Amino acid sequence: MEQYHSLVREVLETGVEKKDRTGVGTISMFGAQRKYDLRQGFPLLTTKKVRFDGILRELLWFLKGSTNINDGLHEFTPIWDAWADPNGELGPIYGYQWRKWEKFTEDGKGGYVKSHIDQIQQAIDTIKKNPDSRRIIVSAWNVADIERMKLPPCHAFFQFYVAAGRLDLQLYQRSADVALGVPFNIASYAALLMMVAQECNLEPGIFTHTTGDTHIYLNHIEGLKKQLERTEFPLPTLKIAKKPFWDLKYEDFELQNYEHHPFIKFAVAV
């Protein structure tokens, strides 16, 4: 995971101080890219403990199309608690856009009929039927729904790429919290890449992480400097049960040989 550590150093060394929505303040740079080859191991940080159980539960929650933390998320991880309304609702965020993107078609009577597009299934179908397509994209950035979301998508859209029996994935993330969010995003999309590759009988290859506003909150700097002083351990392995994509449950994933340094606490900027 030297790629991640080099990103931390780059922001610390070249970033500029900026004010931000939360009021905490950041050191920020614009436009970064790192590549993680899943054939070399599962990209989960070892210089601090990362809660992969929370990452996996959030990913599976997204894939259900869920938008309420009480739908199998809140009892396991508080990731979204700070943004949910009193009923646990977050509005049409990631899961809704991935699985239920709203579509309106004319009904022939001067009105419109509402339906939904399952972008995840559409992507899987395209990989299987037309792997050379340059349109295998899933977007969470629905301009019409932004104001209805409690938090607009940070990881905005991603694209699959098939070549030589290998499946790659690139994510564009408009806003990247280097200390807290980025390690989660890397592991989450790496797991998604592995799930889709297995479903499509392809080898999981390279996850490319492209970030826009790439920032470190001022109250995270000391923790990250401490993390950079630590020696990396070998990357762990993620095993996934041989099941159809939509049948996979939390219990079907096994993180093996995850050796890590102690947890570092970073405050969440809301």
Q: Please identify every residue annotated as catalytic.
A: 154
CA–CA separation, 4 and 44 (whole Å)? 10
- Is the CA virtual torsion 235, 236, 241, 245 positive or negative? negative
CA–CA separation, 156 and 171 (whole Å)? 8
CA–CA separation, 52 and 249 (whole Å)? 14
One-character DSSP codes across 73-107: TTTT--TTTTT--TTSB--S-HHHHHHHEEEEEE-
Please, are residues 215 and 28 in contact by the beta-carbon 8 Å criterion? yes
Q: Which positions ≥6 away from 50 have C-beta within 8 Å?
A: 44, 183, 184, 187, 260
Helix axes 221-228, 2-14, angle to 10 degrees: 130
Q: Scan for tokens 């993330």, then name that residue.
A: 173
